[in-house]
Structure 1
Amino acid sequence: MSQNDSHATFTTNYPNPIHEPKHLKIICVGAGASGLLLAYKLQRSFDNFELMIYEKNEDISGTWLENTYPGCACDIPAHVYTYTFEPNPNWSSVYSGSREIRDYFLSFAKKYELHKYIKLRHQVSGAVWNDKTGQWDVDIANLENGSVMHDSCDIFISAVGVLNAWKWPTIPGLHDFKGPVLHTARWDSSVNLEGKHVGLIGNGSSGIQVLPAISPEVAKITTFIRSPTWVSPTRGFESRIYPEEERQKYASDPQAHLAYRKTLEKNMNELFQIFITDSPGQKQTFDAMKKMMQDKLQISDDLQKLVIPTWPVGCRRLTPGIGYLEMLASDKVEVVFGEIEKITAKGCVSTGQEYPIDVLICATGFDTSFKPRFPLIGLGGKNLQDAWASEAQSYLGIAAHGFPNYFMFIGPNSPSGNGPLLVAMEAQADYMLRMINRWQTENIHSFSPKIDAVQDFIAFKDEFMKATVWEHECKSWYKNNSASGKVTALWPGSTLHYLEAISDPRYEDWDFKYKGNRFAFLGNGRSQVESDSTADWAYYIRNEDDGPYLGRLKQTKIVARSGTVIPADIQSKPRYGSQ
């Protein structure tokens, strides 16, 4: 029989060739950076699928749509706050603002026609695993008309982000205040701050950004700070506006742009050393940042002791405080340390004294418990909200035991503060799609990480964290806004470490349930190649071995282009034998 006769019919109980992709339905919650990435990668690599992304907001881009407060910007360089495969040569500055970042994601969605997968102003309100059908039954609230619709899917994915569920401070009398009350994550631009006395609660990332941004227009700022924090641009990431000639260079010379992006990314990856307690990098950075803060504050020694931390650099997320320290030391800003006891109609009371203000800004962060924002009911009626009530325990930051066919982006113990983030998000998407590919091309009913795999991962993570600065006594969202709780937000290693750790699924860590005979996917005895008369049926015949390396170390060296970079510490030294 010739290749053109490949579609000849014959009798079989399995009519399809091996790995025939069955129809796949995915529901994703959220159309921010991770939801858009999923849509792109699914569209690029898969056939015979249906994707529905439900987004509660009126438009896409998640946190970059929601956060519009003055000074809002990403706290890592913009040229590496992009998908690795989708550079943007036109960033205006090192730390670009939220509107510019949002434009990047809008452009990405438009370029790849991703809007067809997205339903805006629709909020998932609950999801229940149906083990009989092997699907998730999902309730969605239509925020336009208040109705509730029902949908179902084979794979359910959370892409809601971590710093997204903002919260008011739990201070008595908050709603007694007679003036405007703003939250940085729900900014009301109609409130006029010109000439006003503004009270600012919080000195996390948003508080550090908003204070210098509003200072030119307000009459005075009273900032209420409960604890010190490390604030300073990190070496190599100094804030600056890109001149037009530099932007044109990156736009016209992709290789020059790539080299600059790699330099920034390499610098970020090198930062991981400072997160190890008592390491030379930690000690050097501690001394350098302490001196930098002292030089910029120019305030009394007593105030410096309150502003500059004693705990290690990196225990809380490092924040480039462009202009913050200088303003903190100015006559326009009054610094009040300690807890706010209550809020009155006129202002805030701290240490027994009332501080009258006109406008109150709350830069008080988010719910970082990792609990789902809606009931998520898995096997045996277990609700993930309850299972993670005291501690969120994931499998490698992407899955949860007892919740089949369920994934999450940037789940507990993902590398959300260890170095570059979006590349880790890409690695998570690739991992998910490898698992989904198996589901689609085999007769798998469901898959869920084994409990002992989750427990072993958590035990390893807890032991690793003992050697890091993250476990020191500082209040951080890394520890669910506690000072001494378990580190639930961060991966036990660097971002590069994470990329290797999840590059290949450890299928032995998963419970697979099949529909009938697990080998039914073998089909009618024909390959997918034999189903394609235009394919090369002898594709494996070649003149040299150009196949992938199968040893992990050799494979990693090839992927990382080992031997192509001269280490910085020997670049300036003469090579052996040189004159």
Structure 2
Amino acid sequence: MPTLYNDVVIIGAGFSGINLACQLQRKLKFTDYVIYDRGYELGGTWSSNKYPGCGVDIPAIFYSLSWFPNANFTSLFPPQKEILEYLQHVAQRHKIISRIKLRTEWKSAQWSEKTSRWHIVVQDLENGKTFVHEAKVLVSAVGGYTNPKYPTIHGIDTFKGPVVHTAKWNQEYDLKDRNVIVIGNGCSASQVIPAIIDDVSSITQFIRSPQYYIPMPNFGINRLWRALFQYTPLLLMLARWCVFWVLETALAQFYEDKSGQRARQNSVRKSQNYVRKSAPERYWSLLSPRYDMGCKRRILDNKYMKTLYDPKMVLTKDSVISVGSNSVLSASGREYTADFIILATGFEFTQWQADSVFGRNGISLKQHWDKFGGIEAYKTIAMNEFPNLFYLLGPNSGRGHTSVLYSMECISSVDLVIQVARPILEGRAASIEVRKDAEEDWCNTVQGALKQTVLTKSCLNQFSDPKTGWNFFSYPFSSVSLWLGTRFPVMSHWSYRYCKAGFALKYYDSGFVLRSKAERRSKKKSETSNTIARVWSKVENPSPLLAKHILSAPRIQVVMF
């Protein structure tokens, strides 16, 4: 197989991948990277999800990059098209389009200790050919809403009409006068049903468990406000901060303490009152969850409740057990006529490639996680035994109450990844790896904090291991702590292997020690008379050579090979 090389390979051309690429250029003037994406166009989840009614459920003011805010959204909760156009504009403005390779998919990755490089196997989806791309740094910017979850239903392959997952929607589908079956009742179902109700002959929605609904105040943003935001950046910044703090108040309801219980009770009461005010009485029992508020993402109602009054709409908790050529059969024995089946069944969280990423000594991610007891990553981005590998929006980065872009910016390119990977990108270090004890401490801290919330055994869902209650999705702390933890990383939690010949730095309790190559060869201790060592804390005027190897935060463990 042919082999290519770049210093950095980024997987995924959604918000995370594009943001990282832009920040590498903005902050480090670094351009030796390539982005691979299996889609037909850049955009990630906003490119693949094009079903009718698709849109964002976070106020648009807070759903753009902090360093490149968008003042042109036409409504508080804009549709998918506007989000995608904004992201494409970011990529075009910063001239990264030429570095994106579409219709390519990474199949596996293997770390080479000898070369300090990742060997990444990539497949061209147009011709099926595979090739190897080597890189110093591998970054997975693949989001969680990537791989659709398909239910196992007997006979579904015999259905004569289209069977479509919302994430694989083709805009050429014609639903005019069709009898539509919708399976699922998450966010995508609540968006697609109001968007198609006027065209179809009937809709029958099969649900498994109720959801919490709250009203969506989706008002338009007129030209005057858009002009004010565009020409008064301070006003837009102030609006973003207001939205940030309003969203952050919802965090309290996730905790099991008394204040959290009161917050949940208040939110549940508001949701129930809204449902009883907005939905037909015959459906109240199907719209009243028995699990805690916070176990699932709340759904902003954008005319979904209104569709329940439409005589063409049927909502049922009956389950589909089989599919015929033009009908579906439910568990109660009732047969429903069907011309079109929509699967609004969510996603598989398999984006981390647990069985096909191999670190030091050939260990796979799955084997690494088995040792820990569950899927995890230090600060959500890195793992011991996997040098120079970073995940953007990795394990335990999920935020159920605020903008995912905030988490992505804090956790990924803006603060943490660029800071810790900078010595590699500048050619001063060969590899970086989080220390095992730091990863273990972080993992224990996160899982311990999650046990104090409703996000573990009290409400098991797709984000948790059903056997152990291990939550691999949620970040249990405040957004402020998230920002502080990534803005000021603890550099002593990382081990660097430097590539500069002649000297090595190692961190001891008392400070840094510089040792000569001859001393290392003879294995003499740093206290001997032949050493040219100095303790960093005692050096008032360090030499340029020493200073060149020191990062901004003087707490690093460095090993020279």
TM-score by length of 2: 0.84
Corresponding residue number in structure 1 for 2:491: 507
Shift of 1:360: 0.4
The alignment status of 1:403 with 2:386, answered yes or no, reads: yes
Query: Structure 1 regions of 5+ residues with no counterpart?
Result: 1-22, 531-547, 551-579
The alignment status of 1:362 with 2:343, answered yes or no, reads: yes
Task: Spell out, residue by residue over 1:413-457, the C-alpha distance to the aligned partner (whole angstroms, 9 max, x if none).
Answer: 014324232122112212111111133457433222233322322
Corresponding residue number in structure 2 for 1:305: 285
Q: How does 1:127-166 map to 2 (within 5 A)?
A: 127-166=109-148
Shift of 1:104: 0.2
Choose which of 287, 291, 296 in structure 1 pairs with 2:269: 287
1:36, 1:506 → 2: CA distance?
26
Relative to 1, partners in 2 of residues 1:267 and 1:48: Cα closer, same or farther, differing over 3 Å? closer
- Paired residue type of 2:469: G
2:219 aligned counterpart, secondary structure: coil
Corresponding residue number in structure 2 for 1:220: 202
2:382, 2:331 → 1: CA distance?
45
Higher relative contact order (CA 8 A, sep 6+): 1
- Quick check: which one's strand share is greater? 2
Shift of 1:343: 2.2
Q: How does 1:65-464 map to 2 (within 5 A)?
A: 65-233=47-215, 238-277=217-256, 278=258, 279=260, 280-300=262-282, 303-353=283-333, 354-372=335-353, 375-388=356-369, 391-427=374-410, 428-429=412-413, 430-441=415-426, 443-464=428-449
1:402 aligned counterpart, secondary structure: coil
- Paired residue type of 1:182: V
Bigger shift: residues 220-229 or 252-261: 252-261
Confirm or deny: 8 A CA contact 1:379 1:403 kept in the other structure: yes
Corresponding residue number in structure 1 for 2:527: none
Query: Aligned-pair RMSD on alpha carbons?
Result: 2.8
2:33, 2:435 → 1: CA distance?
27
1:34 aligned counterpart, secondary structure: helix
2:70, 2:417 → 1: CA distance?
26
1:28, 1:167 → 2: CA distance?
25
Shift of 1:255: 2.8
2:158, 2:223 → 1: CA distance?
50
2:279, 2:182 → 1: CA distance?
18
2:317, 2:30 → 1: CA distance?
59
1:435, 1:37 → 2: CA distance?
17
2:547, 2:210 → 1: CA distance?
63
2:553, 2:34 → 1: CA distance?
37
Confirm or deny: 8 A CA contact 2:6 2:134 kept in the other structure: no
Task: Spell out, residue by residue over 1:319-364, the C-alpha distance to the aligned partner (whole angstroms, 9 max, x if none).
Answer: 2121112213432211120432222223222223222211100011
Shift of 1:81: 0.6
Confirm or deny: 8 A CA contact 1:225 1:337 kept in the other structure: yes
Task: Spell out, residue by residue over 1:150-207, the C-alpha distance to the aligned partner (whole angstroms, 9 max, x if none).
Answer: 2111110000111111121122222122221111000022221111110000011111
2:171, 2:30 → 1: CA distance?
45
1:158, 1:522 → 2: CA distance?
37
Confirm or deny: 8 A CA contact 2:151 2:345 kept in the other structure: yes
2:318, 2:456 → 1: CA distance?
23
1:212, 1:511 → 2: CA distance?
53
2:198 aligned counterpart, secondary structure: coil
Relative to 1, partners in 2 of residues 1:224 and 1:433: Cα closer, same or farther, differing over 3 Å? same
Confirm or deny: 8 A CA contact 2:143 2:351 kept in the other structure: no
Relative to 1, partners in 2 of residues 1:243 and 1:131: Cα closer, same or farther, differing over 3 Å? same
Confirm or deny: 8 A CA contact 1:223 1:335 kept in the other structure: yes
Confirm or deny: 8 A CA contact 1:371 1:385 kept in the other structure: no
Confirm or deny: 8 A CA contact 2:7 2:425 kept in the other structure: no
Task: Spell out, residue by residue over 1:496-544, the C-alpha distance to the aligned partner (whole angstroms, 9 max, x if none).
Answer: 22111222222332343344632489999547999xxxxxxxxxxxxxx
Query: Structure 2 regions of 5+ residues with no counterpart?
Result: 506-513, 518-541, 555-561
Confirm or deny: 8 A CA contact 2:163 2:343 kept in the other structure: yes
Relative to 1, partners in 2 of residues 1:200 and 1:78: Cα closer, same or farther, differing over 3 Å? same
Corresponding residue number in structure 1 for 2:538: none
Confirm or deny: 8 A CA contact 1:127 1:137 kept in the other structure: yes
Relative to 1, partners in 2 of residues 1:225 and 1:299: Cα closer, same or farther, differing over 3 Å? same
Q: How does 1:482-521 map to 2 (within 5 A)?
A: 485-515=469-499, 517-519=503-505
2:404, 2:382 → 1: CA distance?
18
- Paired residue type of 1:432: V
Corresponding residue number in structure 2 for 1:58: 40
- Paired residue type of 1:129: W
Confirm or deny: 8 A CA contact 1:371 1:392 kept in the other structure: no
2:440 aligned counterpart, secondary structure: helix
Confirm or deny: 8 A CA contact 2:147 2:350 kept in the other structure: no
Confirm or deny: 8 A CA contact 2:491 2:553 kept in the other structure: no
Shift of 1:144: 2.5
Relative to 1, partners in 2 of residues 1:164 and 1:483: Cα closer, same or farther, differing over 3 Å? farther
Shift of 1:249: 2.8
2:403 aligned counterpart, secondary structure: coil
Relative to 1, partners in 2 of residues 1:475 and 1:358: Cα closer, same or farther, differing over 3 Å? farther
Confirm or deny: 8 A CA contact 1:126 1:138 kept in the other structure: yes
Confirm or deny: 8 A CA contact 2:355 2:365 kept in the other structure: no
Bigger shift: residues 290-299 or 46-55: 46-55
Aligned length: 505
Shift of 1:57: 1.6
Relative to 1, partners in 2 of residues 1:136 and 1:549: Cα closer, same or farther, differing over 3 Å? closer
Shift of 1:388: 4.5
Task: Spell out, residue by residue over 1:128-159, the C-alpha distance to the aligned partner (whole angstroms, 9 max, x if none).
Answer: 10001000011211222222222111110000
